[in-house]
Structures are given as structure tokens and as C-alpha cells.
Amino acid sequence: MDIASKKPPLAGIRVLELARVLAGPWAGQMLADMGADVIKVENPEGGDDTRVWGPPFVESADGENLSAAYYHSTNRGKRSIAVDLKTEEGQAIIRRLAAQSDVLIENFKLGGLKKYGLDYESLKKVNPKLVYCSITGFGQDGPYASLAGYDYIVQGMSGFMSITGEPDGQPMKAGVAIADIFTGIYAVTAIQGALIHAMKTGEGQQVDMALLDVMSSVLANQNMNYLISGIPPVKLGNAHPNISPYEVIPVHDGHIILAVGNDGQFRRFCRILGIEHVADDERYATNKARVAHRIEVRSLLTAETTKWSKADLLAACGENAVPVGPINSIGEMFEDPQVKARGLRIDLEAADGTIIPGVRSPIVLSETPLAYHRPSPKVGEHTDEILAELNAIEEESSQWKETGKPPKGPAAS
């Protein structure tokens, strides 16, 4: 079979997204890229909060506001249905959709959907196989469970900001909302695991994802540095706590990244700079020694690197297998030949012909390629289409009960 004719890996999976802003929609977009039918439930009055988080805004050819660029960064591939959850009619629609879905993603505050009868305990009664993913700031239990969670605050609470920034400067957050994004990615992993369990056993479950859990866990070696030593890591700017030299270094026309990971690379770098004797000095010969004398190492190196141009030092290091790299702007990143060769930028055509740019998923599968069929939807763009499909599925299910012919989709279970 031609690879272009193969279905993406999650084709046939239906996802109901009751999520706003970033963590939940990021998970939904990843699932849509992998072929799931993601139905985004939006408030008829304005839709997702991020639709107005601009400028910049995406405009159609005739000048119509198609929502903020922020919204389009995390909602491609979905269909939008406008539903007022405060009404009995709206709640009934969600229950009907949940009954025919495999996955539900929500990021309401703890108990926020219970008052509508749309919490996990309520919906598993209408669909026992449902994988119900709840994304909150602090999880479904614990002293902070009822509090709203925000990416920026969680970056601070997790310890991340205490290790980010210059040693004598303010603690710094990341340049993007990494607590939200990491949580969305972890949520997709958990959802797929729960889906496999549901397919094997017929049993759904609730997935409990918390921003603080995720952001705390991804501190990786810094967590272990503390757990083993008992000493909290501190801000080191662009330096690495366990490796030296592994940092941004100056050249006479800017900066580059030097990522020396072993003693051989350090010796070769010293040879490039004409200071081989530094690599022979017992204070700098091993990584352990260099970490202990990191300030001296930096001083010795930068005294020489500032004599080089960025292009010349990058080329020399490349020829000698010393890991270095440029510090690109986002514009330069999109012009990088490797990024272009990998096709990271994609352009999707809306129903009115407007071309909306985006960035593809970093996931590449050889046999079940991901799908990029549509850009982010307008509020309620697919309401009539989705309700018509739902009516047809329910009618088919009703006929099955009368005739014994199995219907399609989750109702078949």
C-alpha cells in the first residue's frame, strides 16, 4: 500500500475536548495530528479564551478576524461545536457526545463539571469505556486541589525558576508556557496508555494530570542533584550544573553555544584555540575538575574565543567534532536548511481559501503518517455537522437494538 493512502495511527478514535487555553488543547491537537476526530466544545459567546489573546491576529482575505495567532498554535485539525454548558440542552448534548466518544479532555477547576453532571463518575455511566482526562493545576486531591493553576505560577512553585536565570539576576520563567505544554504531552501519553487498557478490557478510567506534578518531575537531573547531595541547585545562567564547559560563549561578533560533553572534546577545543596546555593541566583535564573550576575554565576559553568570528569558530569546531551551535532567532530557525528540509512549517487552507501557517508535530511515523487536513476552526463551525452525525449514530444504535446489527464507533462496545 502507498504510504500516502495509509491512515494515521488514531484514525477512528473520537475525542471530546472541553478544554481551553493551552495544556488541554495542546493534547487535543496532538491527538488530532495523529488522526483522531477531535470535537472542540466551545462557549457560543466567544469560544476559547485564546481567540482574543493578540495581536497578532489571523485575518482572512476579506479582512475577517479569524482569531489570535495564539489560538491557531494549538487548535488545528479539530472540529468546533458551540454548546452552552449552563443549559440542560447543552449538558444533554455533551452526554450524548460522550456516549459516542473514546476520550474526553477537560481542564475545569476541581468539581467544575460535576454541577452539570458531566464529571467522570457521571459520564462513565453512559460510556464505561470512556478515557476521561482531567487537567488541573494541582490534581484531583491534596491541599491545593481546589485552586486554579497557572503556568507561570507553577514554573515558580516547581523550583524551575530557582535554577533559571543569571546567578545575580531575577529567577526567570521559560520563554513559552512549558508547564502547560509538557502537561499536554504527558496527557497524550497517559491517554494512549488508558486507551490500550480500554481496548483490552472494556474499562475506561480517569486520567489525573496536574501542572505542578509535571513541572516538578521534568527537572530531571536537577532533582537528583538535590536528592543525592541535599543541596538545592542554584541559577547558573547558561552554564550546566554537571558539565563544563557547557554554556554560551562570546565571540567577537556575538555568541555561540559550546556543549563539550567529554574530555576528548575539551582537548580538541583547546587545540583549536591554541591553548592545548590547558587540557593538560590537572585542574581542567577531567570534567569533574572542570566543574570544580568552572569560572577559571570560562575565563581561559573566552580570552581566546573573543578573537574569533562566529562563522569561523563554528566551522573550526565542526571540522574537529566539537559540539557547537548558533543561537538563532525564531525567524532564523525557520530559514535553517535542516528545519526546511524536515518540513517543520506547514500551510493549511481554511474553507474560505485563507492559508494559515503552522508548525507540524515533531512526531514522524514511517507507516502511519500524521494528518494535517484542516486549520483551527471558527467558533461552532461544525455544530450542525456534528449534531447530524450524532443523530445518525444514535439512530443506527437504535436499529441495532431492534435488528442485532452492530453499529459503528464506541457504541459498538
Residue range 196-227, pLDDT digits in tens: 999 999 999 999 999 999 999 999 999 999 99
Sequence-distant (6+) residues with CB within 8 A of 347 are: 355, 356, 357, 358
Residue range 385-411, pLDDT digits in tens: 999 999 988 887 777 666 666 655 554
Q: Which of 282, 298, 332 is the last residue of a domain?
A: 332
Across the range 352-365, mean pLDDT stands at 93
Total count of domains within the chain: 2
Query: Residues 210, 110: contact at Cβ < 8 Å?
Result: no
Q: What confidence score (pLDDT) does residue 288 get?
A: 95
Structural domain boundaries enclosing 192: 3-218+343-403
Residue range 51-82, pLDDT digits in tens: 999 999 999 888 899 999 999 999 999 999 99
Distances (CA, A) of 391 to 72, 80, 302, 398: 30, 17, 69, 10
Q: Which of 332, 354, 373 is the last residue of a domain?
A: 332
Tell me the backbone φ, ψ of residue 80, rounded to 5 degrees.
-110, 130
Residue 233 lies in a domain: no
How long, in residues, is the chain?
413
Q: What confidence score (pLDDT) does residue 62 get?
A: 85
- Shared domain for 138 and 201, answered yes or no, is yes
pLDDT higher than threshold 90 for residue 44? yes
- Shared domain for 158 and 209, answered yes or no, is yes
- Output the CA torsion sign for 393, 395, 400, 405: negative
CATH code where residue 7 lies: 3.40.50.10540
- What share of the chain has pLDDT > 90, as a percent? 87
Q: Model pTM?
A: 0.89
Give the closest residue to 276 by CA, choosing from 294, 288, 293, 264: 264
Residue range 250-296, pLDDT digits in tens: 999 999 999 999 999 999 999 999 999 999 999 999 999 999 999 99
Query: Residues 306, 275: contact at Cβ < 8 Å?
Result: no
Give the closest residue to 101 by CA, choosing from 395, 386, 398: 386
- Shared domain for 250 and 134, answered yes or no, is no
- Shared domain for 351 and 326, answered yes or no, is no
By annotation, the residues acting in catalysis are: 180
- Shared domain for 115 and 26, answered yes or no, is yes
CATH code where residue 286 lies: 3.30.1540.10
